[in-house]
Amino acid sequence: MSATVSETIDWSIPTEGTRLDALVEPAVEAGILDEHAKRELRRAILTAVCVPGYQVPFGSREMPVARGWGSGGLQITLAIVGLDDVVKVIDQGDDEGVNAVNLRRLVTDTTGATETTEVSEATVIQTRHRIPEDALEAHQTLVLQVPVPEPLRGVERNIAELGRMHAEADYSRMWVSLYEDKVRNGVITKSTGYPCLVGGRYVIATTPIPRWDVPRLHRAPFLSLFGAGRERKIYAIPPDTDVEPLTFDDVPFEIEKTPGARCSLCDATEAYLIEIPPSDAAADDGRWICSDTAWCRRRRVEASQS
Amino acid sequence: MSEPTPEAPRTEPDGSTQPQSVVLSVRGLRKHFVLHNVDGRQVDGLAGIDLDVSAGEHVALAGSSGAGKSTLLKCIYRTYLPSAGTATLRSPTGPVELTALADAELAAIRGRQFGYVSQFLRAEPRRGALDIVARAGIARGMDRATAVEAAATALRRLHVDESLWDVYASVLSGGEKQRVNLAAGTISAPQLLLLDEPVSALDPANREAALELISDLTAHGVAVLAVFHDLDAMARLASRVVVMRNGRIVQSGPPEEVLHHLEGVAR
Amino acid sequence: MTLVSAPRPTVLRVDRLGKIFGSQNPAAIEQTGPEVGSEKTPDGSSVVAAWDVSFDVAAGEAFGVIGESGSGKSTVMRAIAGDHSASAGSVRMRRRDGSTSDLLTMTQSERRALRVDELAVVYQDAADGLDLNVTAGGNIADRLTAAGGRHFGQIRERAAELLERTEVPLDRMDDLVRTFSGGMRQRVQLARALANRPPIVLFDEPTTGLDASVAAGVLDLIRSLLEELGIAAVVVSHDFSVIEMLTTRCMVMQHGRVVEQGLTDQLFEDPQAPYTQRLVAAARA
């Protein structure tokens, strides 16, 4: 070969005003997901919305969070937020948990979206364990982090058979496990990830939300997106979709309720409460507080103002 | 449950009856067996049988062992496949050529339009007598309640003690089993009844009751073709006795006439 | 006076059913069969497990299939059940709505739907027809929910009814089937098979492998159920006493072909084919 290429090209030729210029625009921050990744995710999300409850496989990327720590939910959020979005992230209903804080910062730092702890301000709410107490509206999107997307995992291991069961809406094994549960325990004991029938067709795992939150999915005005990063599946419940917890006609679906429990901070009784272990309480044991910390705080503020 | 029965036919001096009430017509029936596993040996069972049995008639088949009596009954019932000839059953719905019927159709009319009572009770070992007889009635189309009642009546009639009604059939004595078998086979009187030594294991008292039951059937218009080894039974029940030898009919006539010859040749 | 019998409708019609394993070579048919003495071709490339098998079964009738191993009887059963595909022929079944379907032209999912409430199979090994890790009641609940049952109380009631009918002690209803003896497992399998009142039931060696006294009880039970429920049944067995007790008509198979077909009592007392005569003589011995 002759002299090296660099010696023969004059790199000082200006590109302004030329065609090349149009290609060399100020780059948008690449962020964690490149545009191809986002596009693939959005396609998967779109498919999921078009077939409510169907688990859509997607090319789950490596995220800066460990698998099992919300990588799926994170990918959905990163794919759908833009500069105009306001993001709230909760873990167990708490905005200030370590994981929630880290995820929120990751999203806002790399996408330019703003953050909030107030539901009314958010456009996208990512959650690991709860649906916020405040009612969400049609313009809001709930993104749920899902560890195990397959509702039938407890009754079947074989992937081909699982595929067939969903394809043929053959959920008899699930019904048998509910029957066995009720026979063994007198009640159906599933607490989180309660299986629900979406749009009368597919059964989903509502993991990770507790039974308390399940009825709020039924014909909700908002979109719910479920992301499982490790299992590489996305599913969705579009607005105004029927979501019916699987139960027998004569065994009503029950939500968790402890009679007489009230939040020791804001006095609420009609919210999902969590129990503080006695050693953490000042004097009495079995103190209850609201799981949704932002909601509880706002109630206390409103109470002190009135 | 009672249904209108045909009139008992007039019996002619030679023991035959009016042709209009003929229920079974056998013509040229032959049977030979090929024993493939015994170097293809052939055995003649029936060499050509012509026989009529009318409603209300009791025709007894007599003859020594091997004469072909059971073979004839089994060929009519199709437990044996006839080699040639016909056996026509005149049913209320028209003549039925038994030798030409498809298996499924024959199975359907067995027990209903014509019945067969063998020497031995073939039933599940763990069924009780009442159950066995009642099920025979249900299989004939009776409803459960009627069948159970009819079964109870039949068993009582044959002196099968009520204490035995729920006992497993397998533990009954030979005589008890035979009576249960007879009750089951006659629970709903078919048009034609084939009997193959149905009282061979019964003692005199029980035999009496059984013979009375059979005699009642002919009185109600059932056509009966029976094999008895017992000359007394034949004399009592038969309106006509047909003697067989080597697969052929050699004599036919009223009992008084025929049995006279047979005495001393019995067995 | 007699009760006139009405002809019962044919519910299952098998027409020239055939199954060849291996190379689907038409020449394999002449190279196999009773005259040749094998169901395998000489070069071993094909096994004509069943060929030219035809029979029909009416409602309330039990049809028997007898044969030794390699006869093709199990192949026939599995082809009807849908556990195997078939190479030739048709299996027409009368549906609940009165229409007729050829099972062999259906998709797998259509056949599975059939198995919910129109065709049931009782296997020789109860583990093939049950989930051992589920309770007796749960195995029955499986069929009831598959048919759309959603009322827990009614499911319990029906399961108890079936277990009682198949003589399974009710206090074992909530025990895992894994803890049951062979005979009890067969009874649970029966209860499950009958849960949705299928008009057709296939029995594959239903008592083989059970102790004699246990087998007698199960056979007895099957016979009563068949009488009571007016089911059309196909009973496959190598055991003559089973065929004799349960069926009114049957057929004998050898090396994949039907050797003889007729009324059960006639086949046993007056067998025509040399092979049938040998089989009967051996059974009587």
Q: What is the DSSP letter of C5?
A: P
User: Are A248 and C151 within 8 A, CB to CB?
Assistant: yes
pLDDT over 80 at C37, yes or no: yes
Q: What is the layout of strands, in order, in the sheet containing A56-57?
A: A56-57, A233-237, A223-228, A141-145, A124-127, A86-90, A114-115
Domain final residue pick, C197, C224, C252 = C197
Domain identity same for C107 and C225: yes
Domain identity same for C48 and C79: yes
pLDDT in tens, A111-142: 889 999 999 999 999 999 899 999 999 999 99
- In angstroms, the CA A89 to CA A212 distance is 19
pLDDT over 80 at C2, yes or no: no
C79 belongs to a structural domain: yes
B abuts C (3+ Cβ pairs < 8 Å): yes
- Its pTM stands at 0.85
Q: Tell me the chain C residues in contact with residue A251 when contact means C-beta distances shorter than 8 Å.
A: 152
> Which of B49, B57, B50, B72 has the alpha carbon at shortest distance from B15?
B57
pLDDT score, position B61: 94
* Residue B63, φ and ψ in degrees, nearest 5: 145, 165
CA distance C258 to chain B (A): 16
pLDDT over 50 at A94, yes or no: yes
Cα angle for residues B108, B110, B114 (degrees, 5° grid)? 135
Q: How many Cα atoms sit within 13 Å of A54 on the Cβ side?
A: 18
Domain identity same for C61 and C91: yes
Task: Band the pLDDT of A11: cuts 50, 70, 90.
Answer: low
Provide the strand spans (E) within A140-242. 141-145, 195-198, 202-205, 223-228, 233-237
More confident call, C249 vs B171 = C249
C4 belongs to a structural domain: no
Where in the sequence numbering do the catalytic residues of A fall? Answer: 53, 263, 266, 290, 296
The most confident of A288-302, B120-134, B249-263, C245-259, by mean pLDDT: C245-259
For testing contact with chain A, the best of C109, C152, C170 (most A CBs within 10 A): C152
Helices (H), chain A: 5-8, 19-23, 35-50, 71-80, 98-111, 159-167, 172-185, 293-305
pLDDT in tens, C197-219: 999 999 999 998 898 888 888 99
Task: Give the burial string for A94-132 (b: 16+ CB within 10 Å, else e).
Answer: bbebebbebbbebbbebbebebbbebeebbbbbbbbbbb
DSSP three-state, residue C6 = coil
Q: Using a CB cutoff of 8 Å and minimum separation of 24, what contacts does A17-22 make?
A: none
pLDDT score, position C205: 94
For testing contact with chain A, the best of C112, C133, C144, C145 (most A CBs within 10 A): C145
C1 belongs to a structural domain: no
To which H or E segment does residue C220 belong?
helix C212-229
pLDDT score, position B205: 87
C5 belongs to a structural domain: no
Q: Tell me the chain C residues in contact with residue B104 when contact means C-beta distances shorter than 8 Å.
A: 56, 58, 61, 249
Q: Is the domain defined by A35-149+204-241 classed in CATH 3.40.50.11310? A: yes
- Contact between B28 and B48 under an 8 Å Cβ cutoff? The reply is yes
pLDDT score, position B267: 42
Residues of C with CB under 8 A from a CB of A: 109, 112, 131, 134-135, 137-139, 141-143, 145-146, 150-153, 155, 174
- In angstroms, the CA B122 to CA B201 distance is 15
> Average pLDDT, stretch C231-255?
94
pLDDT score, position C103: 95
Q: Tell me the chain C residues in contact with residue A179 when contact means C-beta distances shorter than 8 Å.
A: 137-138, 141, 145, 152, 155
Indicate the residue type of C267.
L
pLDDT score, position A259: 82
Bridge-based pairing of strands B84-91 and B22-35 is antiparallel
pLDDT score, position A55: 97
Residue labelled with tokens 């199954």: C19
> Which of A169, A184, A243 has the alpha carbon at shortest distance from A211?
A243
Domain identity same for C101 and C228: yes
B13 belongs to a structural domain: no
The residues in B 57-76 lying below 8 A from C, measured between CB atoms, are: 74
* Residue C142, φ and ψ in degrees, nearest 5: -55, -50
pLDDT over 60 at C5, yes or no: no
pLDDT in tens, A31-80: 788 888 899 999 999 999 999 999 999 998 888 888 888 899 999 999 99
Domain identity same for C132 and C273: no
> Which of C283, C238, C276, C34 has the alpha carbon at shortest distance from B35?
C276
Contacts of A227 (CB under 8 A, 6+ apart): A72, A73, A74, A75, A76, A143, A144, A145, A146, A234
Domain identity same for C105 and C205: yes
- Contact between B126 and B162 under an 8 Å Cβ cutoff? The reply is no
Give the number of domains in chain C: 2
Contacts of C169 (CB under 8 A, 6+ apart): none
Task: Band the pLDDT of C246: cuts 50, 70, 90.
Answer: very high
pLDDT over 90 at A22, yes or no: no
Domain identity same for C103 and C113: yes
> Which of C41, C279, C156 has the alpha carbon at shortest distance from A180?
C156
* Residue C247, φ and ψ in degrees, nearest 5: -115, 155
Q: What is the DSSP letter of A25?
A: P
pLDDT over 80 at A8, yes or no: no
Give burial (CB, 10 Å; 0-12/13-18/19+) of B83: middle
Domain identity same for C73 and C180: no
Domain final residue pick, C197, C222, C256 = C197
- In angstroms, the CA B182 to CA C256 distance is 41
pLDDT score, position B144: 87
Bridge-based pairing of strands B192-196 and A195-198 is unpaired
pLDDT score, position A1: 44
Q: How many Cα atoms sit within 13 Å of C52 on the Cβ side?
A: 13
Nearest CB to C248 within list B79, B107, B135: B107
pLDDT in tens, A175-211: 999 999 999 998 888 777 899 999 999 999 998 888 9
pLDDT score, position A280: 58
* Residue A265, φ and ψ in degrees, nearest 5: -100, -45
Q: Tell me the chain B residues in contact with residue C277 when contact means C-beta distances shorter than 8 Å.
A: 35-37
Token duo for residue A225? 């997106």
Token duo for residue C203? 């029995």
Task: Band the pLDDT of C134: cuts 50, 70, 90.
Answer: very high
Token duo for residue C110? 């259509």
- In angstroms, the CA B202 to CA B225 distance is 20
Task: Band the pLDDT of A21: cuts 50, 70, 90.
Answer: low
B266 belongs to a structural domain: no
> Which of A155, A148, A158, A204 has the alpha carbon at shortest distance from A178?
A155
Which bin fits B210, alpha (ψ -120 to 50), beta or left (φ > 0)? alpha
Which range of residues forms the domain containing residue C166? 128-197
CB atoms within 10 A of CB A74: 25
> Average pLDDT, stretch A250-270?
86
Give the number of domains in chain B: 1
Q: Compute the Cα dihedral for C225, C229, C234, C240 and give only its sign.
A: positive
Total residues belonging to chain B: 267
> Which of B219, B198, B189 has the alpha carbon at shortest distance from B57?
B219
Domain final residue pick, C165, C180, C197 = C197
Delimit the domains of chain A by residue range.
Answer: 35-149+204-241, 273-305
C2 belongs to a structural domain: no
Domain with B48 in it: what CATH number?
Answer: 3.40.50.300
Domain identity same for C258 and C153: no
User: Are A168 and C109 within 8 A, CB to CB?
Assistant: yes
> Average pLDDT, stretch C174-181?
97
> Average pLDDT, stretch C121-137?
95
A251 touches chain C (CB under 8 A): yes
For A67, A151, B234, C116, the CA distances from A192, given in Å and listed in that order, are: 20, 11, 84, 31
For testing contact with chain A, the best of C155, C163, C172, C188 (most A CBs within 10 A): C155
Domain identity same for C257 and C159: no
Q: Mind listing the pLDDT tens digit of every residue in chain B (267 residues)?
A: 333 334 444 555 555 555 458 999 999 999 999 998 888 888 889 999 999 999 999 999 999 888 899 999 999 999 999 999 999 998 888 899 999 999 988 988 888 888 899 888 877 777 889 989 998 888 888 888 999 999 999 999 999 999 999 988 888 888 888 999 999 988 888 899 999 998 888 888 888 889 999 999 999 889 999 998 888 888 889 999 999 999 999 999 998 888 777 665 544
Cα angle for residues C235, C71, C12 (degrees, 5° grid)? 40
DSSP three-state, residue B244 = strand
Contacts of A152 (CB under 8 A, 6+ apart): A162, A165, A166, A171, A173, A174, A203
Domain with C61 in it: what CATH number?
Answer: 3.40.50.300
Average pLDDT, rounded, for chain A: 87
DSSP three-state, residue C56 = strand
Task: Give the burial string for A23-39 (b: 16+ CB within 10 Å, else e).
Answer: eeeeeeeebbbeeebee
B128 belongs to a structural domain: yes
Which range of residues forms the domain containing residue B33? 20-261
Domain identity same for C176 and C257: no
> Average pLDDT, stretch A265-292?
76
Q: Tell me the chain C residues in contact with residue A200 when contact means C-beta distances shorter than 8 Å.
A: none
